[in-house]
Amino acid sequence: MTKTLFPLASAATLVVALATSIAPAAAQSAQALPSKSVSFSDLDLSTDAGQRRLAARIDRAARTICGMDRTVTGTRIASREAMACYRQALSSTRERVAQAVARTTQGG
């Protein structure tokens, strides 16, 4: 059984996207926002373990696209912008994850 988040999707993936708070709206619309696909077709989202693994994958994707693990000379603390980006990226996936889990637990 293939689990899909969207009916037309061929593989189960979430896209972690971000809207940076530092760029003006016009610049954001002119450029593609960074995003990363997160596959979960191999996970059983009806279990706590499957849900935790998906959360870990989303966390890694958000950290990557927001530069949370990027080191800057003089500090290992993420910038304010990176933290805001990370929180927004995680927030943007919550509803879609909940929908995917609901479909799985309802046998969909």
Look up the pTM and report it: 0.69
pLDDT in tens, 44-74: 999 999 999 999 999 999 999 888 887 777 7
CA-wise closest residue to 93 among 63, 60, 58, 41: 58
pLDDT tops 60 at residue 20: no
CA atoms of 63 and 82, how far apart (whole Å): 8
Positive/negative CA dihedral, 99, 100, 105, 107? positive
Residue that wins the pLDDT comparison between 67 and 4 = 67
- 64 C-beta neighbours (distance < 10 Å), count: 15
